[in-house]
Amino acid sequence: MAFVPVADITLPVRTTATATRSHDHARSTVKTASRRHIRVPAVVGHIVLIVVAFASIFPIYWMFATAFRQPVDASSQTIFPWPISLDSFTTVWQQIPILSMIGNTFVMALSVAACQLVIAILAAYGFSMWQFPGKNVLFLFFIGSWLVPFQVTMIPNYVLISQLGLLGTIAGVIVPNICSAFAVMLMRQHMQSFPRELIDAAHMDGRNSWGILLRVVLPNMRPALAALGIMLFIEAWNNYLWPALIFQHQSNALVQVGIRSFLGSEGDNWGAIMAASGLACLPIFLIYLFLQRYIVDGFVRSGLR
Amino acid sequence: MTDVRPAPAAAAEALTDAGVSPARRRRRRVPIAPYLYVLPALILLGVWIYRPLLQTFQLSFYSWNLLPTQPLTPVGLQNYVSVVSSQQLRDALVNTGIYIGAFLVFSVVLPIAIALLSRQVGGRAKTVYQAIIFVPFLVTPVAAAAVWRWLLSDSGGAIPTVLQNFGIDIGDVLRSPTGAIWAIILIVGWQMLGFGVLVVSAGIAGINPDYAHAASIDGAGGWTILRRITLPLLSPTIVFLVLMTILLSAQWTYPMIDILTQGGPSDSTTNLYYLLYQIGFQNFDAGSAGAAGTLFFIAFSLLALGLVTLSDRLSFYDN
């Protein structure tokens, strides 16, 4: 099986005026040849993508389907939950403070994302607008931090957090995550492509660097800031390891930790477990539904640096 | 998604980061402002990454049980000896290799195939497919673990039930010493796939179609174009995904291992990262955890630096 870029067939080929004649013939033969031998029919693409999309979405659908079944039918295999029942959600509501858990997680993720964004904006601005001694060495510190797996540093960090008296608190989850080297690097990438002329003009107007950052750079970077901010929020929301360490014993403060203990205590009450899990994902799903463009942009940019 | 462009590796870029006009004007005296802007991030990085890294190294020469009241006893290289000679480390090492190898299929191989196939599918439908495939990446790890435990449950779970109708009995996969690791791989792979597809699609969108035209005019077939033009131009994206898989697979597997199997049955699903957690927070052996962490950091850095060097040699930029 082989593939030919769609562009091959649909887009006109750019050729110089003098060469057009001789190439026309060659091009048409290639086109028919590729049609005949190489091009995978769109139907195959559709079929494969439908299968993959189904495999991707089914577990999530099943989570909500189980949550909406009557508790006695939890292990029924019918595709649609019927009759629909909210009993599983009621159970969750009575067993754990799910609303405050989601609220706390929201506050935690928002604080982490906001702090990371502010710190990243400042550092990226420093890195992208000036040439200064030691710049490359300092930047290597940021890149180098990628090589340090979280698990290698977790014991000393845990000890420091406990010395600060923050074990078992949401602040203890937030504090070590205030700076993200990744956000700094991504932000620097954005700032470097910012048009120089605008900055030079602001300079001539007598603005200082802080004024330029606040009045010129940031207002023009709103889409990038939104994309990065949402991405950092999702990452903070979905972080598991550090919250699980900070709240080692049963705790209902954050969804990640609360649902883990709920999983243990409810055993085989799948309806309730699925309802709690579904609620934990809901805020992110809603954000994705409404801000999909920013999210995709944020993650794609992170992928291409 | 159209405005993205493949950029050279960040490391290489930082070193060649040439001065621009306003910066050059100011070079006569050393400016203070940039240091002030960078300072907060630098301090935080020092406190939360480089300080603990040094302390991990320091701890590796002591025996300590994490209790503030207990003294640290120097033990020389004993921690290293006991870590290196442990059977658990060998199991974890082998499993880490299996995990990374299998994840590369989900984060690189399959996404390339899917992204290439979705080029055959037009505009809106493609966007919808890709949007759906991306959703698992956004599922909170605890919820992902919970729903898959339910799907794989041997009493009423959807997958064993359906397979039983075809006469296949998979039993309780998560408690099987041979099956559990594959279940974890499947779950994490399910989460990673959409991210890979998104990144590869953006990479392909950034390739100038003129190259493929030129090649097809010269008589190249679809397979040749793919092998000689598309894949080489995609190499920065591929290298990025490989690095990402190696760097982040720990973060993505940890919750699944912790919630679903705790590394068992009989260490069949453990990996290096989970082992570090167990040594530190289950055995309360900070010294051994320090030794394992130090070894682990060195191996990991060598691997990543090797990959970056290799990618600089292999990568093919569309300049």
Instruction: Give residue-wise pLDDT tens across range B105-123.
Output: 999 999 999 988 888 787 7
**pLDDT tens digit string along A106-132?**
999 999 999 999 999 999 999 999 888
Task: Tell whether B297 lies on the interface with A, counting CB pairs under 8 A.
Answer: yes
Query: Would you call A119 and B44 a contact, using CB atoms and an 8 Å cutoff?
Result: yes
Q: What element of type H or E holds B74?
A: strand B73-74
Query: Would you call A62 and B45 a contact, using CB atoms and an 8 Å cutoff?
Result: no
> Given A48, A132, A149, which is nearest B300 (Cβ)?
A149
- CA pair distance B151, B153, nearest whole angstrom: 6
Query: Would you call B117 and A3 a contact, using CB atoms and an 8 Å cutoff?
Result: yes
> Given A57, A256, A299, which is nearest B140 (Cβ)?
A256
Q: Give the residue with greater pLDDT, B88 vs A71.
A: B88
Residue A305's pLDDT band (cuts 50, 70, 90) = very low
Å between A186 CA and nearest CA of chain B: 10
What pLDDT, on the 0 to 100 scale, is given for residue A109? Answer: 96
Structure tokens at A154: 């977790």
Residue A301's pLDDT band (cuts 50, 70, 90) = low
Q: Give the residue from chain B lying closest to A65, CA to CA.
A: B147
Query: Would you call A156 and B26 a contact, using CB atoms and an 8 Å cutoff?
Result: no
Mean pLDDT along residues A152-169:
92
A110: exposed, middle or buried (Cβ count in 10 Å: 0-12, 13-18, 19+): middle
Structure tokens at B133: 């495939």
Q: Give the residue from chain A lying closest to B203, CA to CA.
A: A304
Best A88, A104, A152 residue to mutate vs chain B (most B CBs within 10 Å): A152
> DSSP H helical segments within A145-221, as ranges?
150-163, 170-174, 181-192, 196-204, 209-212, 218-220
Nearest to A293 by CA among A218, A227, A209, A195: A227
pTM: 0.84
Does residue A160 register a pLDDT over 90? Answer: yes
Give the long-range contacts of residues B272-275, CB within 8 A, separation 24 or more: B272/A151, B272/B89, B272/B92, B272/B93, B272/B96, B272/B296, B273/A149, B273/A151, B273/B96, B274/B92, B275/B88, B275/B89, B275/B92
What pLDDT, on the 0 to 100 scale, is given for residue B22? Answer: 54
**pLDDT tens digit string along A184-197?**
988 998 898 888 88
Does residue A24 register a pLDDT over 50? Answer: no
Q: What ipTM goes with this model?
A: 0.84
- SS3 state of residue A249: coil
Residue B306's pLDDT band (cuts 50, 70, 90) = confident
Å between B272 CA and nearest CA of chain A: 9
Q: Give the residue with greater pLDDT, A210 vs A302.
A: A210
**pLDDT tens digit string along A58-105?**
999 999 999 998 877 777 777 777 778 888 899 889 988 999 999 999
Query: Would you call A181 and B136 a contact, using CB atoms and an 8 Å cutoff?
Result: no
Nearest to B148 by CA among B178, B102, B187, B188: B187
What pLDDT, on the 0 to 100 scale, is given for residue A178? Answer: 94
- CA pair distance B14, B27, nearest whole angstrom: 19
Chain A residues with CB under 8 Å of B250 CB are: 149-151
Å between A204 CA and nearest CA of chain B: 11
- For A129-143, A155-169, B170-184, B223-237, which range has the lowest pLDDT when averaged over its residues? B223-237
- For A131-145, B52-66, B242-256, which range has the lowest pLDDT when averaged over its residues? B242-256
B170: exposed, middle or buried (Cβ count in 10 Å: 0-12, 13-18, 19+): middle
